[in-house]
Amino acid sequence: MKIYAARAIAADLSAKGSFYEAFEALRKFFPDYMAYRLVERSKRGMRDTSAKGGITKGSHYISGWKKISDFIEDGGDISILYVGKIALDDVEVIKKLLDEGVLRPPKYLPMQ
């Protein structure tokens, strides 16, 4: 989990500053090699890494994990998420379609 949180922080720092600024901020919490890799990942593809910006995908992973975690903690049935690629906002619609037989329940579920 720590690495996903670090990626989210690196994405935020990269969006707000240069490679160097993000690297220096992360060095306070991670070894140099890891701080470098985190910023490198969030700045990849940029021609000018001294500019603000970068890939923010890292922050989306952590927010997605948090949404799923909250869904489960609130009593949500995780098996419904294995129906296919759905948004949590669509769970009630998916439940209704399953009840009506329009959709089939997931064939494969992880071992619990």
Tokens at 4, concatenated: 């996903």
pLDDT in tens, 45-104: 999 999 999 888 877 888 888 999 999 999 999 999 999 999 999 999 999 999 999 999
Place of tokens 């609130």: 74
Per-residue pLDDT at 112 exceeds 80: no
User: What CA–CA distance (Å, rounded) separates 75 from 5?
Assistant: 25
Q: What residue ranges do the domains of the chain occupy?
A: 1-70, 76-106
pLDDT in tens, 6-45: 999 999 999 999 999 999 999 999 999 999 999 999 999 9
